[in-house]
Chains A and B, each alone.
Chain A
Amino acid sequence: MTRNFRCVVFALTAVLAGCAGNGEGLDSNGRPLSGNASSGDGGLHPTLKSIQDNVFTPICTQCHLGAAAPRGLRLDEASAFAMLVNAPSSEVPSLNRVTPGDPDSSYIIQKLEGRAAVGGQMPLGQPPLPQATIDTIKQWIQNGAAQSVAPAKVDVTPMQVHAVAPPPGENLDSTREILLQADGTLNLATLNDASVSLVRSGGDGTFNDGNEVNLGAVHVEARSLDPTVLALKLDGAALVPDSYRLELSGSGAQAVRDSSGLAIGGFVLQFTVGATL
Chain B
Amino acid sequence: MKFRFLLLALLFVGSSSVLHAEPYLAVQQGLKCNVCHVNPTGGGMRNAFGEVWGQTQLPAERVDTGEPWTGEINRFLAIGGNLRATASETDVPHQDNASSFDTDELRVYLEVRAIPDRLSVYVDQKLAPGGSENQEAYGKLWFDNQRFYVKAGQMYLPYGLRLQDDTAFIRQVSGINFTTPDRGVETGLEIGPWSAQLAVSNGTGGGSEIDNGKRYSVRVEHVQSVWRAGASFNFNDADAGQRQMQNVFAGIRTGPISWLAEADYIIDKSFAPNERKQAVGLIEANWLIRKGNNLKLTAEYFDPDRDVSEDQQNRYSIVYEYTPLQFVQFRIGARVYDGIPQNDLQNRKFFFAQLNGYF
Contact = CB atoms under 8 A, between A and B. Distances in A.
Interface string A1-33: 110111111111101100111111111111110
Given A16-B15, A16-B316, A20-B339, A2 B4 contact: yes
A261 interface: no
Contact of B297 (A12, A72, A117): A12
Contact of A8 (B179, B285, B316): B285
Interface residues of A, number: 71
A120 B208 CA distance: 18
B236 A22 contact: no
A171 B342 contact: no
B131 A119 contact: yes
Nearest to B276: A66
B257 A124 contact: no
A16 B175 contact: no
A67 B299 contact: no
B121 to A, nearest CB: 22
B343 A30 contact: yes
B205 interface: yes
A86 B208 CA distance: 17
A63 B272 CA distance: 16
B270 A70 contact: no
B243 A67 contact: yes
B210 A127 contact: no
A118 B339 contact: no
Interface string B204-221: 111111111100000000
Interface residues of B, number: 81
B7 A13 contact: yes
Nearest to B15: A16
Contact of B271 (A66, A121, A170): A66
Interface string A75-87: 0101100000000
Interface in A165-193: 165-167, 170-173, 175-177
B174 interface: yes
Contacts of A25: 309-310
Contacts of A58: 343, 345
Interface in B232-266: 236, 238-243, 254-257
A188 B14 CA distance: 57
Contact of A26 (B11, B208, B340): B340
B167 interface: yes
B314 interface: yes
Interface of B: 3-4, 7-8, 10-11, 14-15, 88, 90, 92, 98, 100, 126, 129-133, 166-167, 172, 174-176, 179-180, 203-213, 236, 238-243, 254-257, 268-272, 276, 283, 285, 287, 289, 297-299, 301, 304-305, 308-314, 316, 338-343, 345-346
Given A4-B256, A21-B340, 6 more contacts: A15-B283, A25-B309, A65-B270, A68-B236, A68-B268, A166-B211
